[in-house]
């Protein structure tokens, strides 16, 4: 047993306590439409920490929607590590056969909305903070847990943290990676493109300007010209940028030339690009569509609810960074030194924390992303219990630089 594991070993909260906390978090709904959406979850986490001698601070972001902050610190100066996770979830899936808030356990898995995205990681982070407090670690530096609101929508909680001037030397964002260390993810833009043509009778289509046909021309250009261009912008860590045409709607009825059509798309961009390039690529294609159809109007805009004020860009961290090394050491101490570094396929608050807050970040947490947002959302409790130890060990090494 290593020195760190030996010191922390007897101070980890019992697995049953972590399970009980997670069950309470799952049974406390925190999806859009719930009054004071995340407040009750914040109070549950705060109560757990208070019971172990850690005083939480509630940072009001919107009325009745606070972030929770709690810290343990050493007697000597040293690096500051942030554990960060979001308390909000997406709503239960329509037609769920089982109660998504029941927190039922079967074959070592806890089922329910938020188990994997990402109340499992929040419970583990709270447990790690308790272990560090009980062991009087870190001996130097500081570790802070920030449970934030609204990640599934506009990331209001992370923005508040950054705008209030929060500083740290590294951050762990606890999204579900199966406890593998993710050193980056792509940026995200949800965009809508509106095509405005001219209506006419279906029997005289030449008198109109068909917005659906214009949208089809745009789709052809995306598939045949833009996507091959994106493949050539491959990021050495994140891979190529991608675009997904998610929805298309338009027209009024079969016998009327469609005067309007709208495409909504998902654009994942990488560090070889800029946000200006994302928009310029699309505008260049739209210019060609307009030139082929005099009188056509087009507009690109961000979809409502996709972001508050900060750009949702890509993020990476060097594999040799001390935070990555500390996390790798924690994995090795628990016998998982062969797990390779990875990248996270979805967007997270790590983007804002690292790009806008200037805090180097990794994405690292229990559970599999394939269960998130699904009717089968669940998490292996063993991974949650393991994450408690991993987070505490990583914090121990990160705040005690050699």
Three-state DSSP class for 293?
A: coil
Residue 294 lies in a domain: yes
pLDDT above 90 (res 272): yes
Q: DSSP character for 401?
A: -
What does the DSSP 8-state code read for residue 345?
A: S
**pLDDT tens for each residue of 132-145:** 999 987 777 999 99
Token pair, residue 206, equals 């030449």
Q: Is residue 17 within 8 Å of residue 384, measured between CB atoms? A: no
Owning domain of residue 334: 3-185+314-398
Q: How many structural domains are present in the chain? A: 2
| Chain center to CA of 217 | 34
Is 258 part of any domain? Answer: yes
Domain at 275, CATH number: 3.30.70.360
Burial 289-306 (b: 16+ CB within 10 A, else e): bbeebeebbbebeeeeeb
CA 34 → CA 66, 147, 153, distances in Å? Answer: 14, 18, 14
248 and 296 part of one domain: yes
User: Do 203 and 335 lie in a common domain?
Assistant: no
pTM for the whole thing?
0.94
Per the CB < 8 A criterion, the answer to whether 272 and 266 are in contact is: no
Mutual angle of helices 120-134 and 381-398, in 10-degree steps: 50
Instruction: Please tell me whether residues 181 and 191 are part of one structural domain.
Output: no
3-state secondary structure of 48: helix
The per-residue pLDDT for 306 is 82
Count of CB atoms situated within 10 Å of the CB of 128: 29
Average pLDDT score over the chain: 96
For residue 138, is the peptide bond before it cis, meaning its omega torsion is within 30 degrees of 0?
yes
State pLDDT tens for residues 346-373: 999 999 999 999 999 999 999 999 999 9
What confidence score (pLDDT) does residue 139 get? 73
Do 80 and 109 share a domain, yes or no? yes
pLDDT at 1 > cutoff 90: no
At 228 the pLDDT is: 97
What is the structure's pLDDT at 335?
A: 93
Residue 219 has pLDDT above 70, yes or no: yes
Q: Within 13 Å, how many C-alpha atoms sit on residue 204's CB side? A: 6
C-alpha torsion angle, residues 157, 160, 165, 170 (rounded to 10)? 20
- What torsion do the CA atoms of 7, 11, 16, 21 make, to the nearest 10 degrees? -120
Beta-bridge partners for 187: 269
């Amino acid at each position: 047993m290593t020195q760190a594991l030996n010191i922390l070993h007897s101070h980890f909260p019992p697995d049953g306590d972590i399970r009980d906390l997670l069950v309470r978090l799952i049974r406390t709904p925190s999806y859009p439409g719930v009054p004071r959406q995340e407040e009750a979850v914040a109070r549950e986490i705060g109560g757990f920490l208070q019971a172990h001698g850690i005083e939480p601070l509630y940072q009001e972001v919107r009325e009745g929607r606070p972030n929770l902050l709690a810290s343990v610190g050493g007697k000597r100066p040293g690096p500051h590590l942030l554990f960060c996770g979001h308390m909000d979830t997406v709503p239960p899936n329509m037609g769920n056969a089982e109660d998504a808030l029941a927190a039922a356990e079967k074959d070592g898995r806890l089922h329910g909305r938020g188990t994997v995205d990402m109340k499992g990681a929040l419970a583990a982070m709270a447990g790690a903070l308790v272990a560090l407090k009980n062991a009087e670690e870190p001996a130097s530096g500081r570790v802070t847990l920030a449970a934030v609101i609204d990640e599934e929508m506009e990331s209001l909680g992370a923005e508040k943290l950054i705008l209030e001037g929060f500083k740290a030397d590294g951050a762990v964002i606890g999204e579900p990676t199966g406890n593998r260390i993710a050193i980056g993810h792509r940026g995200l833009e949800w965009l809508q493109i509106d095509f405005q043509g001219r209506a006419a009778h279906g029997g005289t289509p030449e008198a109109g300007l068909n917005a659906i046909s214009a949208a089809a021309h745009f789709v052809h250009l995306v598939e045949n010209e833009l996507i091959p261009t994106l493949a050539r912008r491959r990021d050495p860590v994140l891979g190529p940028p991608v675009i997904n045409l998610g929805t298309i709607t338009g027209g009024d009825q079969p016998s009327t030339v469609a005067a309007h059509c709208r495409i909504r798309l998902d654009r994942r961009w990488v560090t070889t690009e800029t946000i200006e390039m994302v928009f310029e690529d699309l505008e260049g294609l739209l210019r060609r569509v307009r030139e082929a159809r005099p009188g056509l109007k087009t507009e690109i805009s961000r979809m409502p609810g996709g972001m508050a004020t900060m750009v949702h860009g890509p993020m990476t961290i060097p594999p040799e960074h001390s935070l990555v090394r500390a996390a790798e050491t924690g994995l090795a101490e628990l016998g998982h030194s062969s797990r390779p570094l990875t990248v996270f396929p979805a967007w997270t608050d790590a983007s804002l924390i690292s790009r806008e807050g200037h805090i180097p970040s990794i994405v690292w947490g229990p559970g599999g992303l394939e269960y998130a947002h699904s009717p089968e959302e669940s998490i292996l409790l063993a991974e949650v219990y393991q994450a408690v130890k991993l987070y505490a060990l990583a914090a121990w090494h990160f705040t005690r630089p050699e």
